[in-house]
């Protein structure tokens, strides 16, 4: 499985950058995790809509969902010219309003609400989810593809420290974790984790690799990486255009 970082800023993009967007690829098929500002154009640099199986929106803050509206326009044109024969599957929460109602009523999408009780399918992708700690309803997702059933990635979306995430992330080959703050900037009331919290999550879940992400444009990413590396050393920092190949572990991790 491959993952391509289309954008990793929040809550707004850096100059020339983009907010949250992560493109998964397996066997020539794609799945998009989040579609923040600037993501749609970068998506079309990587693939076409007829190879995109669906879109997952972890939550409905603008830096994670605004380009779902732009994608709707593109889908509409592709449906009209016959390149697509059905609306694009969309997995999302049911609030807040009005964006939830807009997307749920958009004829260019085939929407489905998160269900933490069961595994959900989008094309060949198998998705489980769990609620996380954020000011609006938000979900972490664990994704695998039926062609690589032993390989999984977990994406926290936006979350502050949330103990159930450790069990949910257990043994993932890649953990993409909200790492917006240094420890000195973090508080219990914050909407995001610190880099050290992301590293502690990776360590307790025994994941293969940790990707730090959701960086403010002014963030000192090197400092965030150094803080996390004191706890967990298999780290990569998200950056626009980064491509990571993820494979299932063949032996138990020490």
> What pLDDT, in 10s, does the model give residues 189-208?
999 999 999 999 999 999 99
> Is residue 96 included in any domain, yes or no?
yes
> Is residue 254 included in any domain, yes or no?
no
User: Is the pTM of the predicted complex or chain greater than 0.85?
Assistant: yes
Q: Are strands 29-33 and 21-26 parallel, antiparallel or unpaired?
A: antiparallel
> Is residue 209 included in any domain, yes or no?
yes
> Is residue 253 included in any domain, yes or no?
no
Predicted local distance difference test score (pLDDT) of residue 215? 98
C-alpha 82/C-alpha 122 separation (Å) is 21
Domain hosting residue 168, numbered range:
2-245
> Is residue 161 included in any domain, yes or no?
yes
Helix, strand, coil percentages in the chain from 3-state DSSP, rounded to 5: 25, 30, 45
> Is residue 112 included in any domain, yes or no?
yes
Res. 249: pLDDT tops 80: no
Give the pair of three-digit tokens for residue 103.
Answer: 């997307």
- Considering Cα of 210, then 223, then 201, then 176, what sign does the dihedral take? negative
Structural domain tally of the chain? 1
Residue 198 belongs to domain with CATH number: 3.60.15.10
C-alpha 107/C-alpha 111 separation (Å) is 9
Predicted local distance difference test score (pLDDT) of residue 19? 98
> What pLDDT, in 10s, does the model give residues 156-183?
999 999 999 999 999 999 999 999 999 9
> Is residue 90 included in any domain, yes or no?
yes
Residue of 133, 134, 200, 141 lying closest to 168 (CA atoms): 141
> What pLDDT, in 10s, does the model give residues 218-233?
999 999 999 999 999 9
How much is the mean pLDDT over the chain? Answer: 96
Local confidence band at 106 (pLDDT 50, 70, 90 cut-offs):
very high
> Is residue 252 included in any domain, yes or no?
no
């Amino acid at each position: 499985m491959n993952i391509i970082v289309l954008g990793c800023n929040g809550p707004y993009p850096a100059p020339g950058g983009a907010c949250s967007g992560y493109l998964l690829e397996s066997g020539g098929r794609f799945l998009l995790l989040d579609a923040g500002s600037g993501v749609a154009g970068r998506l079309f640099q990587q693939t076409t809509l007829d190879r995109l199986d669906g879109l997952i929106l972890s939550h409905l803050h603008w830096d994670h969902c605004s380009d779902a509206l732009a994608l709707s326009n593109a889908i509409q044109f592709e449906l009209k010219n016959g390149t697509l024969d059905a609306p694009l599957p969309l997995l999302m929460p049911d609030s807040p309003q009005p964006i939830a109602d807009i997307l749920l009523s958009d004829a260019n999408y085939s929407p489905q609400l998160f269900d933490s009780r069961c595994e959900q399918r989008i094309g060949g992708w198998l998705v489980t989810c769990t609620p996380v700690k954020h000011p609006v309803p938000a979900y972490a997702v664990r994704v695998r593809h039926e062609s690589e059933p032993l390989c999984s990635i977990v994406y926290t979306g936006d979350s502050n420290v949330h103990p159930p995430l450790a069990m949910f992330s257990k043994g993932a080959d890649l953990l993409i974790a909200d790492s917006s703050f240094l420890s000195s900037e973090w508080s219990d009331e914050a909407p995001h984790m610190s880099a050290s919290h992301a590293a502690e999550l990776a360590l307790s879940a025994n994941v293969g690799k940790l990707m730090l992400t959701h960086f403010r444009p002014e963030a000192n990413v090197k400092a965030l990486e150094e803080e996390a590396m004191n706890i967990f050393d298999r780290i990569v920092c998200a950056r626009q255009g980064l491509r990571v190949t993820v494979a299932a572990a063949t032996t138990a991790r020490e």
